[in-house]
C-alpha cells in the first residue's frame, strides 16, 4: 500500500490500514494510561517507532545493503541521494517561490569527479538550492546551469578574510 496512492486503495485496503493504526493507538493507550490523548496519538502515529527505511545499492545487478562492503564514495552517495530526495519531498508543501535550501558541508568528500557531477545533477533535478562548504569543490559541472561561488582566503597572523567571487554559467568559470 505504501507504493500506491491512497486514492487507489480499495475498501479492504482502507480497513487494513485503519486496523493497523487502531492497534498502534490501543498499544500506546495500554503502555501509558495517564498520557493525554494528544501524547498517545503522537506516539502511536509516529512512523519512526514502527517503520524502518533501508538504503540499498545496486551492484553487479544485485541489490545490496549500503552497510555492506562498499567504497567510501559509494557510501557517501548512498547517504546523499536519499537526503536530497527527502529534502525535495519536504519542500513540495512549501510556496513554489520559496528557497529550497540544503546546506552541505564537505558533502562529496571521497567521491570521484564523475559521481560529484552526478550529485550536482541530482541537486538540479530535485530543484534544490544549496550552500556548500568545501576545501576543494568548486561545483563547476555542466550538470549545473549556473552557480555563485565565494572562495574565502585567509592568511596566518591576519585578522581578515578575503572573499574572491566567481560565477559558473554552465560552461565556464
Alpha-carbon distance values, 56 to 68, 81, 154 (Å): 9, 11, 41
User: What is the Cα–Cα distance from 19 to 1, expressed in whole angstroms?
Assistant: 14
pLDDT of residue 64: 83
Name the pTM for this structure. 0.62
Secondary-structure percent of the chain, ordered helix, strand, coil, rounded to 5: 40, 20, 40
Q: Which residues of the chain have pLDDT under 70?
A: none
pLDDT of residue 155: 92
pLDDT of residue 65: 81
Could you report the per-residue pLDDT of 128-153, keeping only the tens digit for each?
999 999 888 899 999 999 999 999 99
Place of cell 506516539: 43
pLDDT of residue 59: 80
Amino acid at each position: 500500500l505504501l507504493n500506491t496512492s491512497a486514492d487507489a486503495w480499495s475498501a479492504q485496503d482502507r480497513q487494513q490500514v485503519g486496523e493497523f493504526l487502531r492497534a498502534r493507538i490501543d498499544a500506546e493507550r495500554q503502555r501509558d494510561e495517564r498520557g493525554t490523548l494528544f501524547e498517545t496519538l503522537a506516539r502511536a502515529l509516529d512512523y519512526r517507532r514502527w517503520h524502518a527505511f533501508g538504503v540499498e545499492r545496486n551492484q553487479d545487478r544485485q541489490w545490496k545493503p549500503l552497510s555492506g562492503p562498499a567504497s567510501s564514495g559509494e557510501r557517501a552517495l548512498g547517504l546523499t541521494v536519499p537526503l536530497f530526495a527527502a529534502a525535495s519531498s519536504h519542500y513540495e508543501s512549501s510556496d513554489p517561490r520559496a528557497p529550497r535550501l540544503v546546506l552541505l558541508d564537505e558533502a562529496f568528500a571521497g567521491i570521484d569527479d564523475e559521481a560529484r557531477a552526478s550529485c550536482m545533477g541530482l541537486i538540479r533535478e530535485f530543484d534544490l538550492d544549496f550552500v556548500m562548504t568545501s576545501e576543494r569543490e568548486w561545483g563547476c559541472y555542466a550538470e549545473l546551469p549556473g552557480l555563485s561561488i565565494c572562495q574565502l582566503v585567509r592568511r596566518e597572523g591576519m585578522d581578515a578574510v578575503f572573499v574572491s567571487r566567481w560565477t559558473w554559467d554552465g560552461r565556464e568559470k
